[in-house]
Amino acid sequence: MKYLKKSLCAVLSIGIITGSVIGPGTYALAQTTATPVVDSTAPVGTITKVMVTFCGDATTQKGFTWYTSTASINSDLQIVEKTTDTTDFTNAVKFTGNCAVPSNNTAAPAPAGTTTSKLEFLHKAEATGLKANTTYFYRIGDASLNLWSTGTFQTAPTSGAFTFIDVADPQAKDYDEGLLAASTFQKALDTVPDSKFIELNGDIVDKGSVEYEWDWLFNNIGQKFLNTTIAPIAGNHDEYNGCFLDHFDLAPAQGSDTTTGVYYSHDYSNAHFVMLNCNETSANDLSPAQITWLTNDITNAKANGAKWIIVNMHKGPYSTSNHATDIDLAGPNGARQTLSPLFAQLGVDLVLQGHDHIYARSKPIKADNTAAPETLSTELFQGHNIQYEVNPGAPVYLIPATAGPKVYYKNQSIITNPAANGYDPNFYNLFDVADENHAAIYGAAVGDATRPERKNIQTFESITVDSDKLSVISYEIDQNRDNATPYIIDSFGLKK
């Protein structure tokens, strides 16, 4: 029995271009059954782990999640349209959310040497009835305690160009690694200051049931993080105890199981984003119900005029490192043989992936798992000459390595070892970029010769959708180079 709330996101939310129904009527606030009981003797403390998310129609709704001490049981959200730089909530629109006991309160062992209590309350609230393409001030917290955290958010436009950031696998497993991963988010937001949201491709933390890991990442990203929107999916490291949904206010697909992650979709201008949960038990990591849902969701989106279909999935079919030979990806019923053809048939344009901790970019991959012929056109974009795939007619698969410390070498067995799953001596011909991990120059990790040394290299993407052009600039950070200033390692585009 899950602890459920009536959700303002639960109304039948008609996406601006999808027409798909997203919102089951009720959804899980947290996986625990415990009832929150306020502890008036607990220190009030501060608001932590604030997440602003798409929650239904991105033009009119927004979701908020935050954590407090057990002194705060009220979940108050106030918003006011931003017309000046002065924040004044006197005439704010007020929303009341819900409070729960997070699953990690009971599941999470404290890291060695930590004695701090981890008793917290989880809060969620939604803003609805918003105006499209509008900036609002918001504050979340507990009015009775005058406890607030303040930021801004923007609603989606119904048309026009936009830019977003994409990152994968921050996956920090100690405080210093959390700082490192947080700095990648900060640098991405600084480098792409006009970004409207951040797509996060899973493995957000190293062990989702260790609540401290969520603190180490999210509480160190800084104020700019409170002024953007995050669109996350769960990785396999985030699948424990419903911990993923405990950190994000999302609108799961109707009737879906949210124990290990959430599948949902959101529109933004003329693009439709399909967010998958690869933690379900099946040969390709997606349940039959999820495959039915994504098929209908993409079909409806295209029927309603979506120009671009962008899939975000943690365990992607086309990557170039350790996991490229995993049975769930490369086996006879794995993602490469089952999901990749489906994506091509459904007209998916771009697949954003995680899990394999290396940068790689495929050619357009047809339904028969061969590369489509490429027609390239070089055009200037933001001062850079970018090669655009013209009418590729098949999805391109991109994996942006990692926003955090963990890195893998390029997989050689897939081309050299006939016993490997997916063995194909020509496999890397399916890629336009299939380099060795740039972290390899720093040598093998101490104590683990199978991986490059951690922490040296991070990556993030800037992706711009403008009418019939989609432009990608890939940035890398080398902690040992140029004061860890981001630099461009790759760019490409799609045009149709």
For Fe ion, the closer of residues 98 and 321 by Cβ is: 321
For Fe ion, the closer of residues 156 and 278 by Cβ is: 278
Query: Do the Cβ atoms of 402 and 359 come closer than 8 Å?
Result: no
Helix crossing, 175-191 with 211-218: angle to 10°? 40
| Min separation Cβ 59 and Fe ion, Å | 32
For Fe ion, the closer of residues 55 and 339 by Cβ is: 339
For Fe ion, the closer of residues 120 and 177 by Cβ is: 177
| CB atoms inside a 10 Å sphere around CB 446 | 8
How far apart are the C-alpha atoms of 217 and 97, rounded to whole Å? 24
For Fe ion, the closer of residues 171 and 458 by Cβ is: 171
CA quadruple 141, 163, 238, 184: dihedral, nearest 10: -90
CA distances 319 to 203, 326, 353, 435, 436, Å, are: 16, 11, 8, 11, 12
Residues that bind Fe ion (CB under 5 A): 169, 171, 203, 235-236, 355
| Min separation Cβ 170 and Fe ion, Å | 9
Query: What is the distance, to the nearest Å, from the Cα of residue 261 to the centroid of all Cα atoms in its chain?
Result: 12
Type of residue at 430:
L
| Min separation Cβ 10 and Fe ion, Å | 31
For Fe ion, the closer of residues 173 and 196 by Cβ is: 173
Helix crossing, 335-346 with 288-303: angle to 10°? 20
For Fe ion, the closer of residues 236 and 241 by Cβ is: 236
Query: Do the Cβ atoms of 427 and 412 come closer than 8 Å?
Result: no
What 3-state DSSP class applies to 22? Answer: coil
Token reading at 97: 């959310």
| Min separation Cβ 30 and Fe ion, Å | 23
For Fe ion, the closer of residues 203 and 461 by Cβ is: 203
List of residues 6+ apart from 155 with CB closer than 8 A: 58, 59, 60, 62, 130, 131, 132, 133, 134, 136
DSSP characters over 464-475? EEETTEEEEEEE
| Min separation Cβ 354 and Fe ion, Å | 6
Pairing of strands 230-232, 198-200: parallel
| Min separation Cβ 203 and Fe ion, Å | 3
For Fe ion, the closer of residues 171 and 209 by Cβ is: 171
| Min separation Cβ 419 and Fe ion, Å | 24
| Min separation Cβ 278 and Fe ion, Å | 8
Q: Is 266 exposed, middle or buried (0-12, 13-18, 19+ CB in 10 A)?
A: buried
| Min separation Cβ 237 and Fe ion, Å | 6
How far apart are the C-alpha atoms of 386 and 490, rounded to whole Å? 9
Query: What is the distance, to the nearest Å, from the Cα of residue 86 to the centroid of all Cα atoms in its chain?
Result: 31
| Min separation Cβ 77 and Fe ion, Å | 32
Query: Do the Cβ atoms of 462 and 356 come closer than 8 Å?
Result: no
| Min separation Cβ 404 and Fe ion, Å | 8
- Which residue's CB comes closest to Fe ion? 203
How far apart are the C-alpha atoms of 496 and 101, rounded to whole Å? 48
For Fe ion, the closer of residues 156 and 234 by Cβ is: 234
For Fe ion, the closer of residues 169 and 215 by Cβ is: 169
Give one word for 467, left, alpha or beta, with left for phi > 0 and alpha for psi -120 to 50.
left
